Every structure is written in C-alpha cells, then in structure tokens.
A = this chain, B = another copy of it.
C-alpha cells in the first residue's frame, strides 16, 4: 500500500492545480476532509461500530448508543447514508419499520472505528493514569 508522500503544504496552497492532485486530508480544501469528519464525528463513530454485526431499527439504535438524541441520530444517519456508508430500508408497514445496515464500504470503515473504540476502552486506565501524572506535575 505504498502511498505517495508528498511535500504537502497545507492551507497556503501554492499554485498547484486541484484537478489532478490526489485526495489529501492535510489540505484544508480537500473534500476528503469532510468525509473524514463525518466518519469521526461524535455519534457516527458509535453508530458505525454498533451496526458492525447486525442491522438495527431506529429506536433500537437509539437505545444502543447511550445519550444520543433523536435529532442527532437521524441527522448522523442521513449523513452516513448520503456518503454511502449506511443503507436505509424503510418498510411500508404500520407501524413504520425502518432498518439500518452497513453497505460494503460502510462495513470497511465500521471495522476500523470499532477497533478504535475497543482500543480506547482497553487503554482507558492507562490514559486516566497519564492525566493524573500530568495534572499532578502542573500543581505546585
């Protein structure tokens, strides 16, 4: 997966054309920045991770992801659906039933953010210890 490491200069883009240049999150004006922010947004990470193993209905998902409001759940799901990470299946029944699942590409990214969440959970004690050391050294 050899990736081209370019001498990227960030915000102050010189005279380079943006048409032929490859996507680069380090550039402020690259659309990949937006996609990255969608995926790493507060609720998207948890939603993607939750959907990793099976599909969920709206209210199921809301229970699964602690603390998310209806508004933010709906909004985040829409964004992820628009970007092609989530598939929305609305059954025309009464009462309404809507199932959310991952697309193939959504599953790829979900695996990554899920790994990250598990890693963070595992390192939590380590991090909390580091914080105490940091705060301790700061007080006199």
Contacts and interface: CB of A to CB of B under 8 A. Distances in A.
A66 B6 contact: yes
A113 B109 CA distance: 11
A131 B80 CA distance: 10
**Total copies of the chain:** 2
Contacts of A127: 35, 83-84, 105
B108 A119 contact: yes
B65 A26 contact: yes
Nearest to A26: B66
A28 to B, nearest CB: 3
A99 B83 CA distance: 37
Give the 5 A-B residue pairs with the shortest CB-CB distance, closest first: A10-B66, A84-B130, A28-B67, A28-B66, A23-B121
